[in-house]
Amino acid sequence: MRLFRQFIWRHLAQEKLRSCATVLGIALGVAVVLAIQMTNASSVRGFEKAIETVAGKTSLEIVGAGAGFDELLIKDLGWLRTYGQVSPVIEGDAEITLADKRSESLRVLGVDILRDRSLRDYQLRANAETQTASARQFLQLLSDARSVILTEKFTRKHKLNIGQTVELTFADKAEPYTVRGVLKDEGPARTMDGNFALLDLASAQWAFHRLGRIDRLDVRLKDAAQLAAAERAIAERLPAGLRVQRPARRGSQVEKMLAAFHFNLTALSYIALLVGLFLIYNTVSISVITRRAEIGTLRALGATRGTVLALFLAEALALAVIGCSLGLLFGRVLSFGAVKLTATTVNALYIAAAAEPPPLAWQHVWIAFGLGLPLSLLAAAVPALEAARVAPTAAMRGSDHLISRFRLRARYVVLPLCLLAAAWWFARQPAVNGLPAFGYASALAIVFGAAFLVPAVLFALGRLGDKPLFRLFKIEGRLANANLAGAIPRISISVAALAVSLSMMTAIAVMIGSFRETVVYWVNQTLVADLYLRPATRHNVATDAVFSPEVERIVSAHPAVAAADRFRNFDIAYGGGLVTLGTGEFAKQEAHGHLLFKAPTGAEAGKAAIRSCIGQDAVIVSESFALKYATQVGDVISLTTPQGDRTFRIAAVYYDYSSDRGIIVMDRGTFTKYFGEPQATSLTVYLRPGADADAVREDLLRQFGSNYRVLIYTNASIRQEVLRIFDSTFAITYALEVIAIFVAILGVATTLLTLILERKREIAVLRLVGADRRQVRKMVVIEAGLMGAVSQSVGAGVGLLLSLVLIYVINVQSFGWTIQFRVPWGFLAQSSLLILLATALSGLYPARRASQLQTAEEVVEE
């Protein structure tokens, strides 16, 4: 310990800049991993927490096959009471308009309060007059259909009082409601951080346009210990079209749905950590290089090889402990940004989730240190072993000054080729549990293949670069090239680390660029309707908000409207996860729509397939559904309907980039036959020739008046909206990459510093034979730029390969989308210039250090 303090700690304190750069590198690496873990947790956890708090003491729930089920079925389920208390529930989202005209989302629970009190703890804040809050009071409060109970937290925040009127929007309709009571912040009142409202069951059915239907029956078992047995027994007795599940199941379905999205983010976050670890390697290497004589002295004085090894591992450990601790803090800060960046995607494409990361917990400390420390030690092992091998005599004499020249051996080419072959094999393997594990193995093999290829590329540059660099930069160019060629073993790792980051950047840019082009093409081809309508509270496909019949009537009756395709969708359980079941009017789709079909190919064949579905038990499915569940045209899938399990033939597979969850669409007639008359969740409107879309939009909004809240997109604005969501989805990707590249450039700077310390004598000689400070600076900056150039060339080449894996393997297996491969040349050119500039700039400090070296001492005093 004492030796550590004297030999390592003081040295780290002296080398403040290098120590800080390393700590920063590790901290950022750990922070990015943590931030992504927290972000992923926040979306799933937020959803699960909402389920838990709303669920209360509910042990089991009975759910229907479609969007809820007919309340008449309840009377046939009287036997359920032998298992415990039963309560029918309506659950949904509404918007409350506040005094300042801003609106907030509320999770709304509609229950039969007398029955439900045994399932959930509702504590009313004591009324000022009666000082009590009883069931009787609840009843009184809810006897008026326009009554609502809000939470203490919400009313306090927005200064609302009992008796005050608030405006609530359910689906498309805004109505005034009176606040009749305030729930204490306990039980369900903690849902969505207090953004919770309680309604009477009948009021909720009316408000959500679900008259005669309930979403589910919550069951509190008499004997909670008999959960599994009761679940089995109830499942056996339930009629067709109903099933029993535990509340947590909804959470796990959501988790499964988000798994691919989260998996991809996690994989990306590890790149920053990888690059951070490289900095540890670099720093310990620098210590070993610059302190050979001291190590020799230690060895001569009796330190064993083990002691030397332990000392340098301890150096890595010290840096890693500080880095990981800082990483915890940075991670927390970054997670807020990451949640913000991913919230749009999660909310628009998957679920409504609370956009706040979870607080720091022991599990995060464990992730930070459990990952950071062992990996740091591993990274430091190579230079620490090198230190342990230093012979006392060799180090003392300084006779190991002369480096042996790098020789290109067969393994530098054979190993990368083997890895590329492995990558090819991995890329051809199927997904594992819906996750592209082999896809990532393939990407990893490519990345390592590229990393191992770096020495060979640097060797080639050393051989071929002299003449062009001499012509371009005179003698400084030649010297820089020669210096790099002489330091291949030292610089390979930093160049490889930067190349790996850049290759990911390139791959992602190519993937996103290609994806965007594909989506633009798809949008242009398929979004041909003139107007798109949805209820104002329907923020994502999972929100079950339907139009009022009056809205549908106004739209259909408008003289400029040629056709209005009423579309309805909701989530159904399929294959252990959730998919979207949709229904539209196929005759209108055939006449006006322009879906792009994957199978059968060709617009006419597609239209024929749509026609063939009308009046038949047939469906069309999205490409992601077909890929996820390995189905194709002609296959038969089984769906649970309120009338029991029914089979449907797949008539066509169409391209869809709006959601990766998988969509099954059937004609309205077929749907009505099995699920009942659907209410529309969106309307696609085709106008008569010559009608002005903007004018019709204004006219419709005027007719809806202030009571109905409907969002109407024109064709141009819906296209913009699609691309806005698309771009926001990938914002986080770029953010992660920028951090990784920043850390990698930090690595280049510290590597150059190492090289300079290692070459002190050579630089001094250079100064002696006539190089002025400016020439030395120029030489080092060229070296930095060359390292950047090699990294970017390798990165761009490998990035293109990686993008193929991303597009054709990982994306297909994760999301099930076909993307047309396109290379964004403009982006590549820009990023290449930027990287060259950034790396050259990173060489400025090392260059300054180099030019300030004292010449005489280094050379003459041997």
Partner 1 sequence: MIILSVEDVRKTYVGGETPVEAVRGVSLSLAAGDFVALMGPSGCGKSSLLHLCGAMDRPTAGRLRIETADLAQLNDDQLTKLRRERIGFVFQFFNLLPTLTVRENITLPVLLAGGDVTAAERRAGELAERVGLTHRLRHYPQQLSGGEMQRAAMARAIIHEPALLIADEPTGNLDSENGARVLNLLGELNRELQLTILLATHGAETAAAAQRIIRMRDGKIASVETTSAIEEPTPRAFV
What span, in angstroms and rounded, lies between the C-alpha atoms of 557 and 798?
Answer: 58
CB 744, min distance to partner 1, A = 25
Beta bridge partners of 88: 217
CA–CA distance, 174 with 184 (Å, rounded to integer): 26
Q: Residue 590: which residues within 8 A CB-CB, separation 6 or more?
A: 607, 610, 611
Instruction: Determine the Cα–Cα distance for residues 109 and 93; give it in Å rounded to an integer.
Output: 9
The one-character DSSP state at 66 is B
- Nearer to partner 1 by C-beta: 118 or 775? 775
Minimum CB separation from partner 1 for residue 19, in Å?
A: 24
- Whose Cβ is closer to partner 1: residue 605's or residue 856's? 856
Report, in Å, the least distance between residue 737 CB and partner 1. Answer: 34
Residue 773 or 848 with smaller CB distance to partner 1: 773
Q: Which amino acid is at 742?
A: F
Task: Please enumerate in sequence order all residues whose Cβ is within 8 A of that of 323, keeping only pairs 6 or more positions apart, or say none.
Answer: 22, 23, 24, 25, 26, 27, 29, 30, 276, 372, 376
Q: How far is the CB of 273 from partner 1 (least distance, A)?
A: 34
**Residue closer to partner 1, measured from CB, 223 or 857:** 857
Query: Measured from the CB of residue 456, what is the shortest distance to partner 1 in angstroms?
Result: 18
Write the single-letter amino acid at 372.
Answer: G
Query: Among residues 101 and 405, whose Cβ is nearest to partner 1?
Result: 405
Nearer of residues 470 and 734 to partner 1, judged by Cβ: 470
DSSP notation for 732-765: HHHHHHHHHHHHHHHHHHHHHHHHHHHTHHHHHH
Q: How far is the CB of 489 from partner 1 (least distance, A)?
A: 13
Which residue in this structure is represented by tokens 């024929």?
608
Angle of helix 16-55 versus helix 731-758 axis, rounded to 10: 160
Q: From the CB of 405, what's the least distance to partner 1, in Å? A: 6
| Nearest C-alpha neighbor of 109 from the set 187, 200, 182, 173 | 200
Calculate the alpha carbon distances from 179 to 125, 142, 320 in Å: 13, 10, 55
Task: Write the burial class of residue 7 (CB in 10 Å: 0-12 exposed, 13-18 middle, 19+ buried).
Answer: buried
Nearer to partner 1, 236 or 862 (CB): 862
- The minimum distance between CB 857 and partner 1, in angstroms, equals 9
Please give the Cα distance from 604 to 611 (Å, whole number): 10
Whether residue 374 is preceded by a cis peptide bond, meaning omega within 30 degrees of 0, is no
C-beta of 399 vs 556, nearer to partner 1 = 399
Please report the beta strands in 12-83, taking only residues with DSSP state E, as ranges in sequence order.
60-64, 69-70
Q: Classify strands 216-221 and 636-641 as parallel, antiparallel or unpaired.
A: unpaired
Least separation, in Å, of the C-beta of 494 and partner 1?
18
Q: How many CB atoms lie within 10 A of CB 168?
A: 22
Nearest approach, Cβ of residue 410 and partner 1 (Å): 22
Instruction: Give the integer Cα–Cα distance in Å for 339 and 137.
Output: 41
Residue 120 and residue 91 in contact, taking contact as beta carbons nearer than 8 Å:
no
Whose Cβ is closer to partner 1: residue 446's or residue 485's?
485
Which tokens belong to 304?
Answer: 């064993």
Other C-beta atoms closer than 10 Å to the C-beta of 547 total 27
Q: For binding to partner 1 (CB under 8 A), which residues are involved? A: 401-405, 470, 474-475, 478-479, 482-483, 485-487, 761-762, 765-773, 775, 855-856, 859-862
In the complex with partner 1, the residue whose CB is nearer, 16 or 405, is 405
Beta-carbon contacts of 46 under 8 Å, excluding residues fewer than 6 positions away, are 353, 354, 355, 356
Query: Beta strand pairing status for 173-183 and 147-151?
Result: parallel
Q: By C-beta, is 662 or 785 nearer to partner 1?
A: 785
Burial of 742 (0-12, 13-18, 19+ CB in 10 A): middle
Question: Cβ of residue 491: shortest distance to partner 1, in angstroms?
Answer: 12
Nearer to partner 1, 127 or 855 (CB): 855
Q: Judged by CB, which is closer to partner 1: 279, or 771?
A: 771
Smallest gap from Cβ 848 to partner 1, in A, equals: 14
Kindly tell me which of 403 and 630 has the beta carbon lying closer to partner 1: 403
Considering the complex, state which of residue 304 and residue 399 has its C-beta at the smaller distance from partner 1.
Answer: 399
Residue 523 CB neighbours (<10 A): 20
Residues β-bridged to residue 648? 637
Give the β-pairing of 663-667 and 577-584.
parallel
Minimum distance of partner 1 from residue 791's CB (angstroms): 20
Least CB distance to partner 1 at residue 479 (A): 8
Q: Tell me the closest approach of the beta carbon of residue 852 to partner 1, in angstroms.
A: 10
